[in-house]
């Protein structure tokens, strides 16, 4: 019987989920605190006076168009272009508010970063690692530090420049990493024609997006094709494949079934899970994304 696994890192220092409730989450990113939408928080906020004070004393808030307000960031003590450094287990990266409510990384994925580094470091061989929809590259940097041969793909030139800045900030810029601006499916199709293979793949496809040439991405339509292509670029003995989705209608079990199907000819195991963060105010786990992990 399939069981849902909880993926949660307890090693964060620079980040904290302070509280959730009323469709929002209160978070600390380094020395700054922000309020962002979290529609799944259908419970009330913590009533402790000190926590209530934290909700009112924030550096910025992202308003969702769903609440009727003007969508976007409203800052109280810093500019929208403010950029600062954060760190997780020795990997450093820049953080800044983006127009899409994110700040340049997803803290709930820290457990995956640990997994990637440990698996590559302990594999006993050179691992070819592919990061699709790679965003600003934190996962790629953990693979790179572990000694992986890293290929990082994203459709946004802006976030790829951010990736290169993070690589330099972490003093990994002397280690070669392919950083490629491309649509994920088109890149995979070209790799299949070129005969290039990978031992490990991580993919975090958006619910909706556009490629560098205007390609439209809709996860419910494109995910089956994406997974099929990924299966064709794997080596004969792959190490791991990670799939994550923030689409609310993509359950962890459905992701694991889809991933297991393309990995059925390989010796390994697929786990369904939720990416969680420990909430400081109530000491409870809060789920922020669904994921599936295949590994040996």
Residue 50, token pair as written in the block: 């000190």
Closest CA to 108 of 8, 224, 32, 34: 8
Domain identity same for 156 and 284? yes
Q: What angle do CA 118, 119, 124 make, to 5 degrees?
A: 105
Q: Over the chain, what is the mean pLDDT?
A: 94
Query: Considering the domain boundaries, does residue 135 fall inside one?
Result: yes
Q: Which of 84, 112, 142 is the last residue of a domain?
A: 84
Domain identity same for 38 and 150? no
Q: What is the pTM of this model?
A: 0.95
Query: pLDDT exceeding 70 applies to what percent of the chain?
Result: 94
- When pLDDT is averaged across residues 63-81 and rounded to a whole number, the result is 85
Query: Considering the domain boundaries, does residue 94 fall inside one?
Result: no
Query: Considering the domain boundaries, does residue 258 fall inside one?
Result: yes
Residue 182's pLDDT is what?
95
List beta partners, residue 94. Answer: 85
To the nearest 10°, report the CA torsion of 272, 112, 146, 150: 80
Query: Considering the domain boundaries, does residue 91 fall inside one?
Result: no
Domain identity same for 179 and 233? yes
Query: Considering the domain boundaries, does residue 285 fall inside one?
Result: yes
Closest CA to 32 of 71, 81, 77, 65: 77
Closest CA to 131 of 196, 74, 62, 205: 205
Domain identity same for 179 and 132? yes
Domain identity same for 29 and 169? no
pLDDT digits (tens, 9 = 90+) for 135-173: 999 999 999 999 999 999 999 999 999 999 999 999 999
Domain identity same for 42 and 181? no
Domain identity same for 116 and 181? yes
Residue 140 maps to which CATH number?
A: 3.40.50.150
Residue 63 maps to which CATH number?
A: 2.60.40.1180
Residue 1's pLDDT is what?
47
Q: Which of 30, 53, 84 is the last residue of a domain?
A: 84
Which string of DSSP letters, residue by residue, matches the chain? Answer: ---EEEE-----SSEEEEEEETTEEEEEETTEEEEEE-TT--SPPP--HHHHHHHHS-SEEEEPGGGTSPPEEEESSS-TT--EEEEETTEEEEE---TTS--SS-GGGHHHHHHHHHHHHTSSS--EEEEET-TT-HHHHHHHHTT-EEEEEES-HHHHHHHHHHHHHTT-TTS-EEEEES-HHHHHHHHHHHT--BSEEEE---SEEE-TTS-EEEHHHHHHHHHHHHHHTB-SS--EEEEEE--TT--HHHHHHHHHHHTTTSS-EEEEEEEEEEETTTTEEEEEEEEEEEE-
Query: Considering the domain boundaries, does residue 4 fall inside one?
Result: no
- pLDDT confidence bin for 213, thresholds 50/70/90: low
Asked if 30 contacts 13 with a C-beta cutoff of 8 angstroms, the reply is no
Q: Which of 84, 118, 147 is the last residue of a domain?
A: 84
- When pLDDT is averaged across residues 193-206 and rounded to a whole number, the result is 96
Does the pLDDT at position 222 exceed 90?
A: no
Domain identity same for 237 and 211? yes
Residue 11's pLDDT is what?
96
- Rounded distance, CA 94 to CA 176, Å? 20
Query: Considering the domain boundaries, does residue 180 fall inside one?
Result: yes
Domain identity same for 116 and 153? yes
Query: Considering the domain boundaries, does residue 90 fall inside one?
Result: no
Number of domains into which the chain is organized: 2
Domain identity same for 182 and 260? yes
Q: Residue 26 sits in which domain range?
A: 9-84
Domain identity same for 228 and 277? yes
Asked if 230 contacts 203 with a C-beta cutoff of 8 angstroms, the reply is yes
Domain identity same for 169 and 270? yes
């Amino acid at each position: 019987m399939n069981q849902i696994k909880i993926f949660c890192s307890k090693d964060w220092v620079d980040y904290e989920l302070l509280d959730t409730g009323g469709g929002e989450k209160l978070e600390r990113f380094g020395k700054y605190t922000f309020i962002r939408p979290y529609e799944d928080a259908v419970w009330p906020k913590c009533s402790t006076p000190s926590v209530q004070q934290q909700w009112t004393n924030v550096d910025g808030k992202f308003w969702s168009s769903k609440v009727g307000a003007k969508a976007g960031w409203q800052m109280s003590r810093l500019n929208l272009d403010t950029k600062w450094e954060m760190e997780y287990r020795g990997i450093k990266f820049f953080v800044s508010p983006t127009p899409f409510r994110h700040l340049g990384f997803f803290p709930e994925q820290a457990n995956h970063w640990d997994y990637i580094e440990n698996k590559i470091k302990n594999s006993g061989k050179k691992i070819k690692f592919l990061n699709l929809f790679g965003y600003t590259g934190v996962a790629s940097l953990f693979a790179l530090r572990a000694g992986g041969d890293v290929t990082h793909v994203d459709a946004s030139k802006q976030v790829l420049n951010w990736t290169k800045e993070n690589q330099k900030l972490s003093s990994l810029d002397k280690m070669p990493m392919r950083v490629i601006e491309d649509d994920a499916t088109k890149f995979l199709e070209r790799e299949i024609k070129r005969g290039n293979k990978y031992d490990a793949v991580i993919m975090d496809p958006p619910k909706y997006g556009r490629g560098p040439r205007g390609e439209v991405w809709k996860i419910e339509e494109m995910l089956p094709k994406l997974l099929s292509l990924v299966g064709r670029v794997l080596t004969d003995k792959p190490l791991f494949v990670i799939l994550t989705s923030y689409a609310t209608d993509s359950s962890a079990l459905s992701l694991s079934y889809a991933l297991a199907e393309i990995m059925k000819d390989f010796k390994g195991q697929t786990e369904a899970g939720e990416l969680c963060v420990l909430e400081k105010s109530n000491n409870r786990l809060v789920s922020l994304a669904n994921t599936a992990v295949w590994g040996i």
